[in-house]
Amino acid sequence: MSEQIGELLAPYRLMMTPGPCSIDPRVYRALATPLVGHMDPWFTEMIGEVQVLLRRAFQTENRVTFPISASGSGGIEAAVVNPLEPGDEAIVCVNGNFSERMAVIASRVPTTTIHRVEAPWGRTVDPNDVRKAAKGRKIKFIGVCHGETSTGVISPIDDFRKVADEVGALLVVDAVATLCGTPLNVDRQKIDLCFSGTQKAISAPPGMSPITVGPRMEEVLRSRKTPVQSWYFDLTTTMNFWGKDRTYHHTPPISIVFALREALRIVFEEGLEAGWQRHRQNQLALVAGLEALGIELFVPNEKDRLPTVTSVYVPKGVEDGRVRRQLLDEFGIEIAGGIGPLKGKIWRIGLMGYVSQAKHILFFLAALEKVLLDQGLSVSPGAGVGAAIRVYSHAEPATVGHRS
C-alpha cells in the first residue's frame, strides 16, 4: 500500500436507532480501562459484580445469570438451541423480523417441530391463537419477543405465561429491546429463560447478550439426553466460567464487560423504575411532536407501542433515504428505516437509555422539521417542538432527563 492510513477519527452521531444507541461518557471511560486477563483473579471477582447487577436488572434470583459473548442474535440462538432436543415441539410467536429469526433458528435444530403463530407486522400475536396451536400437543416452550424492534410493538408477557401454564410449557422471552427500558420482572412473571442485548436500553456497546435461566429451564438443560447443537452457545458449559469455579470456556470481550458494569451501575444510580418512567414519558413527548408534524404512527394502539422504539410511516411525497441521510449529514442524527416488508415505508426512532432525554428529542424534532421543509413537505413552524414541550410541561422533571 502506498497510502498511509491515518488515525481513526469517527464522527460523533446521536444514534436514535433501534440499536446500538449513544452511550454515556462514563461508559466510554470504562471502555478505556486497561486490559487484564480474563482469568485474572481481579477480573473473575469483578464479573461477580456484573452478575449481581444483571440479576437486579432482570429482577431475578436465578443462579444462572450472565452475559453471553455475542450479539442479541446470539442470545436468540442460545435461548432456543439449549432447550430443544430431537422430537421436541415448540411454539414461536412471529410478528416481526426478530421473532421471525427466533422461529428460523429453532427450525434448524434437527428433527424438531416449530409451530409459528403469526400476526401482521405492527400487531401483537393473539394469545388465544397460541392456545389453539398448543391444543393436543406436547409443547416444550413458547417463544415471545417482548419488544419487536422491526415494528415498535411490545407484547403482553403475562398473557403468554398464562397460556404456557395451561399447556405445561416453558416461556422463553426476547427482551433485547426492553430490559431496563420498560417494566420486566423475570421472577414475578415466571419467565423460564430471558435474554437481552447490551447495546439497547442498558446503553453499553454491542457485543454481549445478558441471559438468565430459571430453575425449571436449568433442570431441562441438566437432563438433556443429547448434546446441545451449538458448542459455543451450550449454556451447560458456558455457565461454568460464570459459575463459582470460573472454568475457562472462551475469552470474553473484556473491555465490553467493563463498559457493561458501568452502564448497569448508572442504571441503578437512577433507579430501575425511574428509568422505565423516563422512557415512557419521553416517548409520549416524541409521539406528540411527530403527530404535530403530521406524521402517522405505525402501531395504531398506544398500549402496543414499544417505549424504546417508535415506528412511523414515511410521509407521502417524501423520500425515505434522503430524509435519513440529511439528518445524518446535517445534524449528525441517525434514525433507522424499515426492514423486510417495511423497507422504505417506515422510520424507526430509538429512545434507549442515554438517548432518552428531553434535549435529544427536542433537537431531533427541530432537525426533522427542517429536513421535511427542505423536502417540500408543508409543516407548521415549531409545531413538533412545541407539542413535545407541552407534554414536558405537565411531567415530573425527574422523568424527562437522563440518569445523572
> How does pLDDT run across 50-96, given as a tens digit for each residue?
999 999 999 999 999 999 999 999 999 999 999 999 999 999 999 99
Q: Are residues 157 and 125 in the same domain?
A: yes
Q: Has residue 404 got a pLDDT over 50?
A: no
Q: Has residue 282 got a pLDDT over 60?
A: yes
Q: Are residues 169 and 230 in the same domain?
A: yes
Range of the domain at 290: 271-399
pLDDT for residue 131: 98
CATH number of domain containing 348: 3.90.1150.10
Provide the pLDDT confidence category of residue 251 given band limits of 50, 70 and 90.
confident
Residue 17 forms part of a structural domain: no
Residue 4 forms part of a structural domain: no
Q: Are residues 47 and 136 in the same domain?
A: yes
Residue 7 forms part of a structural domain: no
CATH number of domain containing 237: 3.40.640.10
Answer positive or negative: Cα dihedral of 392, 58, 230, 70.
positive
Domain final residue, candidates 267, 287, 311:
267
In DSSP terms, which residues pair with 334 in a beta bridge?
A: 15
Q: Are residues 314 and 370 in the same domain?
A: yes
- Residue-wise pLDDT for 115-148, tens only, equals 999 999 999 999 999 999 999 999 999 999 999 9
Residue 3 forms part of a structural domain: no
Residue 234 forms part of a structural domain: yes
Q: Are residues 288 and 162 in the same domain?
A: no
Q: Has residue 399 got a pLDDT over 70?
A: no
Q: Has residue 239 got a pLDDT over 90?
A: no
Residue 323 forms part of a structural domain: yes
Q: Are residues 85 and 213 in the same domain?
A: yes
Q: Are residues 235 and 333 in the same domain?
A: no
Q: Are residues 253 and 275 in the same domain?
A: no
Task: Report pTM.
Answer: 0.94
Domain final residue, candidates 217, 233, 267:
267
Residue 9 forms part of a structural domain: no
Mean pLDDT, to the nearest integer, of 259-274? 98
Q: Has residue 314 got a pLDDT over 90?
A: yes
Q: Are residues 329 and 372 in the same domain?
A: yes
Domain final residue, candidates 267, 297, 312:
267
Q: Are residues 275 and 263 in the same domain?
A: no
Q: Are residues 257 and 189 in the same domain?
A: yes
Q: Are residues 252 and 374 in the same domain?
A: no
Residue 37 forms part of a structural domain: yes
How many folded domains does the chain comprise?
Answer: 2
